[in-house]
Each structure stands twice: as C-alpha cells, then as structure tokens.
Amino acid sequence: MLQEGKLYIGTSRKPDDSINKGEYLELKFGNRHGLITGATGTGKTVTLQILAEGFSNAGVPVFCADVKGDLSGIGAIGEPKDFLLKRAEQIGLTPYEFQEFPVIFWDLYGEKGHRVRTTMSEMGPLLLSRLMNATDAQEGVLNIAFKIADEGGLPLLDLKDLQALLNYMGDNASELSNQFGFISKSSVGSIQRELLILEQQGAEHFFGEPALKITDIMRTTNDGRGAISVLAADKLMMNPRLYATFLLWLLSELFEELPEVGDPDKPKLVFFFDEAHLLFNDAPKVLVERVEQVVRLIRSKGVGVYFVTQNPLDVPETVLAQLGNRVQHALRAYSPREQKAVKTAADTFRPNPDFNCAEVITNLGTGEALVSTLEGKGSPSMVERTLIRPPASRLGPLTEAERQKVIDVSPVRGLYDEDFDRESAYELLAKRAAKAAEQAEAARQAEEQTQEGTSGGSRWTLPGFGEDEPAAPSGKQARPRSSGYQRETIVEAAMKSVARTVATQVGRALVRGILGSLKR
C-alpha cells in the first residue's frame, strides 16, 4: 500500500463494494492545499490525523490545532482495537503497523503545551482590528497607532504598550489628527475597553515575548520525520476570534518569512486549519480577500494549507477553488442549506461515472469519504468512494501525565516557558515620565526661587509634530484630570519619545505585508 512520494489515504471501493485501488496524496502536490469536510462524527479528525502522520513520516512538519482535545493521541503508539483492525483488513492494509509520532504541544495559555506568543507589532493593525471586531473608525485609530509606533521604532510588544500609546493619542487627539488623520476620542476609548476585555479573556498571555519563531514549528527529528505541532485549542475555542486571528497571524508569518521555493518535491510545512468557518464567519471582505491572496501565494513557499470544516459552503468560493486535495465525508441533506452544501460539494469533484456524487455524500459511512487528489500535471483525480485508513497512532487523547512527559522532553523546552518583559513602549514611557516628573519638579523649584514667569519649554518640543508646545509640566499647569499628573506626563513623555524617534529615524519605518504583519 505504501508508495514512494505518496501519502496513503485509504482504499476506494467499486459499486459492488469490492476493493478498487489505493488512494494517495502525491507529496509533490502537498502544497496545493486541501479540504476536509463532513458533518460531526463522520471522521474528519481521524482523516486529519492520518494525513498528519503521513506527512510526518515523509519528513514534512505539520501544524494543527486540537479543537476537541482528541488529536493529542497522535503522540502515542496506536492500540490494536477491533474496529481498527477490521478497517485495516477491509482495505488491505497489511501489515497494519502502529507508531507514535514526534509531537510538540503548544498552548496560548501555557497550560497544555509550550507558550505561543506574538507581539502587537508583529500582529499588526489588520488582524488586531479583526480580533477586536473593530468598526471602521476604530480600525482607523489602530492604523494611526501603528503608524506612529512603526515610524518611530517604538516597540509595541504587549497589551499595556498599546494602552500607553492609546492614552497619549486620546489626550492629544486634536493635535495628532492634523498630522496623521482623524482620531476620534470615542474610538480610542472603545479600543481601550476592548483591550481590557481581551486582557480579561487571557489574551495578555498571547501578546508579549519571546515571540514564536516559525523555525520551531518546522522542525524535523534526527530520523528525518516532521515534527507535528499540536496547538491545544479547546479553551481557545471559547474565544473564536482569538483562535482565528492567531492562526491567521501564523499563516501570515509563514508567508512573510519563508523564501520562495516554487514547487518542491514535498511541502516544507503543512498547516491544518480546523473549524475553518471561524476564519471567514462575518469577516470583513478585505480580510477575506487578503486571506485568499495569502493562500494562493503561500503555495510557492512550499506551505500546504488544509481547511477542515463541516460544510464546504463555509469556505469562500475563491479560496475553495484553490484547494486541490479533497476529502469529503458524509453530509446530511435535510434543510435547504444542507442540500445546497451537498450539491456544492458534489459539483466540485471530477465526476465518476460509477456513481452519483450527491447521492453518495449523504450515504457515506463513518471514516468513509469521497476523495480526489491532484495527479499527473496537477489535475484532480476522478472522485472515488474511499474507506480512510485507520491511524497508526492512538485514536483519542493522551492522559495528562503522558502529555507532560512529551512536554518535558520537547526540543523547544525552556525556550518559551518564561515571559520576557523587554523594554518596550510602556516601560520607555514610564521611564521617561519619571524623568520628566523629576525635571518638572526641579523646574518648579527653580521657578519658585527665581520668580521668573517663563520656563524652559524646549524640554517639551515635539520635533516632527509642528509647533513646539508651551512648557506643560509645571506644577501649576498640571491639568485637572482624574488620571492625575503622573499619567499625564507618561503620555506626554511617550510622545516626546515617539516624536524624537520619528524625527531621527525617518526612512527606517517598518514594512507590513499582505495581512499586516511585519516583513523582515
């Protein structure tokens, strides 16, 4: 059954149920993307598991999210359960060998795997807007915040960095609007509230350093197998936007960082996007277009993207059209929408004269699917009714203890486990504020002593932002805000820092890619 350069998916059957032939995914077309669909309980996760196993054995690293916690078993050797042995026999898989796979567990919350983080700067305004479900006005403000930070080389690492910058922007909205475009104070306020909500939802764990290096999800073992990165996503799924945004960010990172390789013998990485409907659910049109673009272009970087979802209608047509390797499990066809889904799914296959696709889709058994992969020069094979092979690794989750054991010997152990709070916007601002407060106090004392009315306003010049401000930080002039003097100086000092760097570093602005993450 096992063939060089091909990944064995299962065995197809003829109309009389006798064995037809083995169905394979050609590794050289592994970067031509894929789609796994079907109703709940029809076998999607197991299909994902056997594809991940196949890629790993072929030396291709895999990234996937474990939405229900039932994929972790891929890190343990399979058990010869009766129904698995029966399936193996049915499809002529002899010998049916069991195997454990090299997995790396990841978790945004750091509970079930190594921490995964990124920085605000790297995520960028487009994805952040999506994460916050921002209105146009809010997105405008975020764009300006990033413009200020990017141009000024002010690191926005975590949530508090962005908060500090937004504080400043809110307090100086009118001056900044002249320079950067309209900043609505109420939008700034709502973004700040949204950031607080994100923080409460645990997103603060996700923003910070050390940020994930994509080379760590592209590892291979000494014996040439691809590491399978499994992201714990059960808790993450409670915040579907964070889940979707995180995976998009990762995709975007891969796209921006990996070199062009054309069409390699096998993919450099395969990325499974489970619950893919969350990606596109009421996503703004511009984002869907960008995703479509990234999916199209990432192919030549050797990355295969496999969407897993219940309903093929969940994936926009422009994206669907790019998914060459397809495994369609059973669908129900009760409601009109379900009937439409069945028709859509059936119509996308190259027909097989032996059966009616739409009819078969509703009659497929568990672990059975319509399969069509790319062959020859890259055209879709005729669709075949296929019994999917049983996995070589364990079907079902690892125990806590087993998971911990895997984490303890992981190749990335210790690399991400501690937070690293580098000096960034927030700290820079706080530091300058302290200094400014000191200077202000000194100035005030000097003022009292000399009884002079003028002051050394030059300390507060705003190069790059038009007219110098009059000396603000004098004790008498402290504006009567509830937030108080200290915060006031923090944000003002912040802007000094930004302005100074803008003035000195023009031409070194950061560049952003298609999905708005940083280009290197």
Ligand X SMILES: Nc1ncnc2c1ncn2[C@@H]1O[C@H](COP(=O)(O)OP(=O)(O)O)[C@@H](O)[C@H]1O
Residues that bind Mg ion (CB under 5 A): 44-45
Cis peptide leading into residue 102 (ω within 30°): no
The least distance separating Mg ion from the CB of residue 45, rounded to whole angstroms, comes to 3
Cβ 117 to ligand X shortest distance, Å: 29
Q: Which of the listed partners (ligand X, Mg ion, none) does 239 bind, with a CB threshold of 5 to 8 Å by partner kind? A: none
Paired residues of 384 in beta bridges:
371
Q: How far is the CB of 166 from ligand X (least distance, A)?
A: 41
By CB under 6 A, which span of 19-27, 42-50, 132-140, 341-349 interacts with ligand X? Answer: 42-50
Helix (H/G/I), strand (E/B), else coil: 229: strand
Closest CA to 99 of 80, 75, 74, 77: 77
Of 24-32, 39-47, 320-328, 410-418, the window that binds ligand X (rule: CB under 6 A) is 39-47
Which among 69, 63, 83 is positioned nearest to 387, based on CA atoms? 83
181: phi > 0 → left, psi -120 to 50 → alpha, else beta; which?
A: left
Question: What, of ligand X, Mg ion, none, does residue 42 touch, CB below 5 to 8 Å by kind?
Answer: ligand X
Q: Which is nearer to ligand X, 42 or 167 (CB)?
A: 42
Q: CB of 372: closest distance to ligand X in angstroms?
A: 17
Element (H, E) at 369: strand 368-372
Rounded Cα gap, residues 296 and 319, in angstroms: 8
Asked if residue 41 binds ligand X (CB under 6 A), the reply is yes
Q: How far is the CB of 487 from ligand X (least distance, A)?
A: 50
Nearer to Mg ion among residue 105 and residue 465 (C-beta): 105
Pick 68 or 520: Cβ nearer Mg ion: 68
- Residue from 7, 25, 35, 46 touching ligand X (CB under 6 A): that is 46
- Shortest spacing between CB 136 and Mg ion, in angstroms: 36
Residue with Cβ nearer ligand X (9 or 176): 9
Query: What does residue 328 show for φ and ψ, rounded to 5 degrees?
Result: -105, 110
Contact mark string toward ligand X, 343..372, x via CB under 6 A? -----------------------xx-----
The reply on whether position 40 binds ligand X by CB under 6 A is: yes
Please measure the distance between the N-terminal and C-terminal CA atoms of the chain and give it in whole angstroms: 43
Query: Applying CB under 6 A, does 13 fall inside the site for ligand X?
Result: no
Q: Which does 118 bind (CB under 5 to 8 A by kind): Mg ion, ligand X, none?
A: none
Q: Tell me 389's DSSP state.
A: P
| Range in contact with ligand X (rule: CB under 6 A) among 43-51, 116-124, 295-303, 338-346 | 43-51
CB of 194 to Mg ion, least distance (A): 31
Residue placing its CB nearer to ligand X in the complex, 131 or 331: 331
The residue among 372 and 489 lying less far from ligand X, judged by its C-beta, is 372
Cβ atoms of 140 and 107 within 8 Å: the answer is: no
Nearer to Mg ion, 45 or 352 (CB): 45
Work out whether 172 is an interface residue with ligand X (CB under 6 A). Answer: no
Site string (385-424) toward ligand X, x via CB under 6 A: ---x-x----x-----------------------------
Q: Which residue is nearest to ligand X (CB)?
A: 367
DSSP 8-state code for residue 518? B
- Name the phi and psi angles at 512, rounded to 5: -110, 145
Distances (CA, A) of 181 to 134, 137, 143, 155, 365: 18, 11, 10, 22, 58
Residue 43 partner contact from Mg ion, ligand X, none using kind-dependent CB cut-offs of 5 to 8 Å: ligand X
Size of the site for ligand X (CB under 6 A): 15
Contact 368, 330 (CB under 8 A): yes
- Dmax (CA) of the chain: 104
Judged by CB, which is closer to ligand X: 83, or 420?
83
Taking CB under 6 A as the criterion, which residues in 98-137 touch ligand X? none
SS (H, E, C) 300-342: HHCEEEEEEECCHHHCCHHHHCCCCEEEECCCCCCCHHHHHHH
Interface with ligand X, residue 43, by CB under 6 A: yes
Give the binding range for ligand X (CB under 6 A) out of 34-42, 444-452, 476-484, 492-500. 34-42
Of 261, 229, 282, the residue nearest 107 (C-alpha): 229
Cα separation of 450 and 453, whole Å?
A: 9
H or E stretch covering 193:
helix 185-200
H-helix segments, 69-184: 82-90, 120-132, 136-152, 159-171, 173-180
Q: Can you tell me the distance from the alpha carbon of 37 to that of 175, in angstroms, rounded to the nearest whole number?
A: 52
Residue from 42, 245, 328, 373 in contact with ligand X (CB under 6 A): 42
Complete DSSP assignment for 448-485: HHHT-S---GGGG--TTSSSPPP----GGG----TTHH
CB of 32: closest distance to ligand X in angstroms? 23
> Closest separation between CB of residue 40 and Mg ion, Å?
7
Nearest distance from C-beta of residue 38 to ligand X, angstroms: 5
The contact set with ligand X (CB under 6 A) reads 38, 40-46, 84, 87, 366-367, 388, 390, 395
